[in-house]
Structure formats: structure tokens, C-alpha cells
Structure 1
Amino acid sequence: MTTIYDVSRLAGVSAKTVSRVLNEPDRVRPETRAQVQAAMKALDYTPNPSARQLRLGGASSLGLLLEDPVSGYLSRFHHALLTACMEAGKHISVELFDMQPGWAERLDRFLDEGRVRDLILLPPLCDFAPLKAHLRQREARAVLIAPSVFDPHFPSVVMDDRAAAREVIEHLFALGHRRIGHISGHPDHSAAILRRQGLFEAYDAAGLPRPEPDLLVAGDFQFRKGIEAAEALLSLPQPPTAIFAANDETAAAVSVAAHKRGLSIPGELSVIGFDDAPIAAAVWPALTTIAQPYLDMSRRVVQALDNWEANFSSGTAATYMTAHSLIVRDSAGKAPK
């Protein structure tokens, strides 16, 4: 299926320019407009009529519910979604949301007053079954980002958390680490489970015994819990030479706990996080981490909403996988001898 991004690549312009050619052609220079129109013809691209009607109608076609706007993970997605919507010529309405009593009435007010039909649900809201049931009742459309469980009614955009975690551990193996501690995420979210499974897979593939139970400490993706978990690991009679944290906030907490003990990072302890949240580049030393493909996932969300029926071509909602990358910075080094 040809998308606005395919047209933009062939024409050598931004997706936002393609959107302007479709919706506000008089604002685009004639030579650029001709270039985009030639690309659309070559690719046999036809704009989605319902999506275009929403863009032209003055209503905000997309809605984003945020439960924890200060989370580094969610803030990165917020920025990426804003960028993807801007590129596609869409507006987006953002609503602070929680699952306290009265949530359904607040949601209805947001959808009705903002004339929002399409929603984007991030964790943990993407796993809140009553919310999704309410949306189905309203015949609202939604795309789920990184849900814990597959939902046949809503398409989802995900990355391979297990493969990413395995890549982290293999990177530490290459640096000579074998005694690796792990601080997991919230036990109710599948990402925490998948990242631990990836750790185990790396050990199994290398023919090494899995980490001892005292090297696996429960966390909840929060900084304070990360401090407690790091203290537990660093207080072991034989502490780990590296710690893989389930997210960057937890990894930053590990760095704080290590510095408090006078440990050198990465000389005496290597630390790796996950997400590439803003804090990963802000702490010292900067964190080696897994970069989630925030912008690619956000663009895939916009495409899924623009071509809604295509998400169900197999009879059930599609799941779209996106690629991660390992960002090597200064917090991981060779294992101490």
C-alpha cells in the first residue's frame, strides 16, 4: 500500500509538503507541486477520502491520552507523535487522563467537545480493557502502542523488546561481562517480561548458566525503586560487574547509587538502560541504551489510522513491528579484571 511517506521519498520532499499539495496546493510552489504530483502518479497514490475530509474539516482528527506526562518514555512519544502528525498535515488533541472513577464521562467529553474520532493509546492505557470496550461501544478507532496483549479489535505498533534485550546482553558479553544484574520493569507490563526473557535467551545462546536469582531484582520503571534495587545488587557479597536496567530512569538511578558508593562507571560497573529517554543523555556518564524507534512507530500509527480498513485485511487487527537500535555511549565498558 502506497503511503504519503513513499510519495515524499520519491519526490524528494517532506511528508508535510506532500500533505500541503493535497490539502492546500496554493501554498506550494508550482515546481514543487508538479514534482509531488508526478510522484503520486508514478506510485498510483490515492489519498484516503475519509482522512482527507477530517483534515480539511477543521476538527482535530487524532486524540492522545496521557496518564503520566513527566515520564521520559511518554514524553519522547509525545514529541514523535506531534512530529508525525505535523508531517501528515494532521492536528492532535492531548488530554491528561487517569483511570479513576468517572473516567468514561471525562473521555466522552474529550471526544465530543474535540470532535475526536481516532485515538492513540500508550502504555498502560493501551491495556485498560474497560477503556477499549468503551471505545468499541462508541465506534471510535484507536491504535495501540506497545500493548501487553494482542487485541483483535485495534491494530498495534510494537518493537521487539526481547530481541533488543538480548542484544544488550550480547554487547556486555563482548565486553567480557558474565555476572550481570538485571532490574526489571513493572510486572504487569509485557515489556518487563519480554526484556527479562531476552536476557535469558542471550545466556542460553551463549551456553552460559543463567544469572542467579539474587541478580534479578524487581523494579517498576521508576527512579526511586531503581535506587532500592541498585542498592540490593551492589550490596551482594559478589556484586555484578554490569547492570541492565529495564528503562533509562532505572539505569540513571543505578548510576546515582553507584556514584554514592564511589564506584567508577564504567571502570568498576557498567550500566545499560532502555528507551533512549532524555535522561539517558543527561546523566554522567551518558547511558548506553536501546533506542526505541519513536518517530517510525508514530508514523506507522498515523498510517494505520489513515488506512483503517487495511489493518483488518487478514480478518483481525494487524500488528506492526518496528526496528530498534543499540546506542553505545559511555556507561558500559570492559569488565574489570
Structure 2
Amino acid sequence: MATIYDVAALAGVSAKTVSRVLNDDSAVKAGTREKVLDAMSRLDYRPNTQARQLRLGARTSVGFLLEDPTSGYQGRFHHAMLTACMESGKYLAVELYEAGMPDWQAYLDRFITDAEIKDMVLLPTLCDFGPLKSFLKSRGIHCVLISPSTPDSHYPSVAMDDRLAARDVVEYLFQLGHRKIAHIGGHPDHAASILRRNGFYEAFDAAGLPRPPAHYVEHGNFLFKSGFEAAERLLGLKDRPTAIFACNDEMAAAACSVAHKMQLRLPEDIAIVGFDDAPISSSVWPTLTTVRQPYLEMARRSIQIFNTESDTLIASDRQIRHIIAHEIIERETTLAPALDKPQRQARGKA
């Protein structure tokens, strides 16, 4: 069985540095951290978390609730949390949670007790569910909220700036020469949908350009079917857009399918941008330009908060909102529009 000294030798660092990586020390340089993690992976090294808990007095079980494990967002964040917990020597305890489920308090009480949970990460939309947060607080559970719709003064939160990311997408399309840009929004009850739509409009305002007409803005629910139906309406317009910005990758992939159905070329006839960098974004053809959410960085920051701020997670009346930077991943579905060429007639449902 590999030891911490084996990892240190393979990574070319000291055992103390490996220990600092395991303890999620923010002072460790990113390149060094990656070398250590690579060595751990190659040696199949597993830290002795029970020994670390006795030595450090650390809480090692992190609770994580999933409403829809099949969704691209929750699936990617689940993987990021597994990685972050592995790096820091913690266990990730995962449970399904359905909104409106009967006896949910007793259900969660058993989960918390059986897994010995003291820390929990809450994704949207659970991070905005007041009764759940009140229940967890009554049990003395330390919580970190991921992208809540509004900051909660009782809990620290980790998020990316959805509004800025959407604005950056539109400005990126402006740089490519697009002006006729449509938007497929997400579920109207989700804060991210509102923020991304606001960012979409703000980009036009900042550029001194008129906002797109109302029929250029469709509303979906983050699902493929809703994106397909919205894209059919947009690409069936007589004055159809040259670009579509969808609120997530599933709906953007659906828009690609509609473009293929109508025999439109991607990206020459229509450019498409998604959001999230879900697996589907790199598996569709052409590959999808998208916004990469910093899942792993957000998960790591959450664990770091538990490691360094646990004593104040409940006591403080003011908590920090940690903003993690996003990134636009440019792939094959974006290109400057062929403004000097007449638009091809779309074929299919109008």
C-alpha cells in the first residue's frame, strides 16, 4: 500500500507538501497541487482519514443532496465534490432529495445521523429552501450554499457571476460580428435564468445597441425538449437570428439538432453558445461553444471554507460570498456570420 512518502517521491516534493495538499492548504501552488494529485492517482493512494480525524479533530463527512443526478449541472458538481473531498481526505455522503417528499425531516435526520454529517453543501434550488436551511441549522449542521438566488447572511456561499458570464457571451458574439442574437432562457423560477437573461440584455445596453425584439427571447426549462421547441420557433422566423445563446448546454444541443433538421450549417448559418460545459457540449457535432462553470474550484472552495471557518459558519451574522471566475470555451459552433451571403431558406417547421 502506498504511503505519503511514496507520493512525495513520485511528485518530487516533500512529505510535508503532500500533507498540505491533503489538508487543502490554499498556499500550495496550483502546479504543485496537480503534481501531488497525479502521483496520488498513479499510486492509488488513499489517505487514512480516520487517523487524520483523530489527529486533527477534523470533521470528515460532508453531506450532499441531489434532486436530479441526471442533470448536467448536478452531475458535474457531484464529480467535483468527490474530487475535492478525495483531495482533502474527507468522505462525501450523498443522498437523493425530492421536493415535497413526505417526512423529509425524518428522512434527512436519519441521513445526518447515519453518515455522522456536520458539514453540508446545498446546490440550487435547495440552497434557497428556507425550511431546509432552518432544519439543518437546528441540527447544528454547517452549510455552504452554492449559487443562491440571494445572499443569506447566515451562511457563506460560493458562486460564479451568472450575469457577467452571460454578458461576456454576448460581447464575445459581438466581437465575431453578430448583432441578431437570440436567447433561450432557463426555468423562470431559477435565479440563474434571471441573472443570465439580465446579463444578455446588459450587453446590448453597454454596447449602445437596441435590445433584441421580444420574439428573439424564448423561455425553456433547461431540458432538451424545451430547447428544441424554442429553437424551432427561432430558426423558423423570417428574420431569423445569426446566433443563439442558450441558458444551458442541453438546450443549446437541442438548438443544434434543429439546425441540422432545417439543413442549416453550423456555424456558417447559425452560431450557437451554451452554458455549463456539460459532457454533451463536447460530444455533439459540431462541438459546442459554452461557458465553463468552475465546478472543481467551487467545490474546493467549499471544502476550504469548512476547513478554515467552521467555528463561525453558524455564529456569524454576516457571511462571505465567494465568487469564482468563469471561462468561455470556444469550440466549433461559433464563427463570424456570413453577412455578405444571403441566408439559406430554413427547411422544417416554421
Tell me, yes or no, if the aligned pair for 1:311 and 1:318 is still in contact at 8 Å: no
Q: State how far apart, in whole Å, the 2-side matches of 1:288 and 1:11 are.
A: 27
Identical amino acids, percent of aligned pairs: 49
Q: Which of these residues, 328, 335, 339, is aligned with residue 326 of structure 1? A: 328
Tell me, yes or no, if the aligned pair for 2:170 and 2:200 is still in contact at 8 Å: yes
Match of 1:247? 248
Match of 1:225? 226
Match of 1:33? none
| AA at the equivalent of 1:245 | A
Residue 274 in structure 1 maps to residue 275 in structure 2: yes
Q: TM-score, normalised by structure 1?
A: 0.85
Match of 2:171? 170
Tell me, yes or no, if the aligned pair for 1:195 and 1:246 is still in contact at 8 Å: yes
Q: State how far apart, in whole Å, the 2-side matches of 1:184 and 1:13 are.
A: 38
For the aligned residues, what is the CA RMSD? Answer: 2.7
Q: State how far apart, in whole Å, the 1-side matches of 2:144 and 2:274 are.
A: 27
Residues 53/289 of structure 1: CA separation in 2 closer, same or farther (3 Å cut): same
Residue 67 in structure 1 maps to residue 67 in structure 2: yes
Match of 2:342? none
Residues 51/9 of structure 1: CA separation in 2 closer, same or farther (3 Å cut): farther
Tell me, yes or no, if the aligned pair for 1:54 and 1:61 is still in contact at 8 Å: no
Q: State how far apart, in whole Å, the 1-side matches of 2:291 and 2:86 are.
A: 26
Task: Note the alpha carbon deviations across 1:52-71, whole angstroms, 9 max, x for none.
Answer: 3245xxxx510110110011
Q: State how far apart, in whole Å, the 2-side matches of 1:198 and 1:303 are.
A: 30
Deviation larger for 318-327 or 303-312: 303-312
Cα distance, 1:205 vs structure 2? 1.2
Q: State how far apart, in whole Å, the 1-side matches of 2:55 and 2:293 are.
A: 27
Q: State how far apart, in whole Å, the 2-side matches of 1:286 and 1:92 are.
A: 32
Q: State how far apart, in whole Å, the 2-side matches of 1:11 and 1:159 are.
A: 23
SS at match of 2:25: helix
Task: Map 1:26-37 onto structure 2 (within 5 A).
Answer: none
Cα distance, 1:103 vs structure 2? 1.5
Q: State how far apart, in whole Å, the 2-side matches of 1:83 and 1:262 are.
A: 41
| AA at the equivalent of 1:151 | D
Tell me, yes or no, if the aligned pair for 1:275 and 1:292 is still in contact at 8 Å: yes
Q: TM-score, normalised by structure 2?
A: 0.82
Cα distance, 1:219 vs structure 2? 1.1
Q: State how far apart, in whole Å, the 2-side matches of 1:170 and 1:11 are.
A: 31
Cα distance, 1:106 vs structure 2? 1.0
Q: State how far apart, in whole Å, the 1-side matches of 2:178 and 2:31 are.
A: 48
Residues 127/314 of structure 1: CA separation in 2 closer, same or farther (3 Å cut): closer
Match of 2:32? 12
Give aligned pairs, total.
308
Cα distance, 1:304 vs structure 2? 0.9
| AA at the equivalent of 2:56 | R
| AA at the equivalent of 2:57 | Q
Q: State how far apart, in whole Å, the 2-side matches of 1:236 and 1:230 are.
A: 10
Deviation larger for 61-70 or 306-315: 306-315
Task: Note the alpha carbon deviations across 1:102-138, whole angstroms, 9 max, x for none.
Answer: 2211111111111112111111111111111111111
| AA at the equivalent of 2:25 | Y
Q: State how far apart, in whole Å, the 2-side matches of 1:180 and 1:9 are.
A: 40
Task: Note the alpha carbon deviations across 1:144-186, whole angstroms, 9 max, x for none.
Answer: 1111121112111000111111111011111111111100111
Tell me, yes or no, if the aligned pair for 2:292 and 2:328 is still in contact at 8 Å: yes
Residues 61/208 of structure 1: CA separation in 2 closer, same or farther (3 Å cut): same
Task: Note the alpha carbon deviations across 1:286-330, whole angstroms, 9 max, x for none.
Answer: 110000111110100001111224558974121100000110000
Match of 1:52? 56
Residue 288 in structure 1 maps to residue 289 in structure 2: yes
| AA at the equivalent of 1:76 | R
SS at match of 1:147: coil
Residue 78 in structure 1 maps to residue 78 in structure 2: yes
SS at match of 1:5: coil
Residue 185 in structure 1 maps to residue 186 in structure 2: yes
Q: Which of these residues, 304, 315, 318, is aligned with residue 316 of structure 1? A: 318
Residue 157 in structure 1 maps to residue 163 in structure 2: no
SS at match of 1:8: coil
Match of 1:38? none
Tell me, yes or no, if the aligned pair for 1:221 and 1:249 is still in contact at 8 Å: yes
Task: Note the alpha carbon deviations across 1:62-100, whole angstroms, 9 max, x for none.
Answer: 011011001111111111111111110111111111122
Q: State how far apart, in whole Å, the 1-side matches of 2:324 and 2:260 are.
A: 35
Q: State how far apart, in whole Å, the 2-side matches of 1:12 and 1:284 are.
A: 36
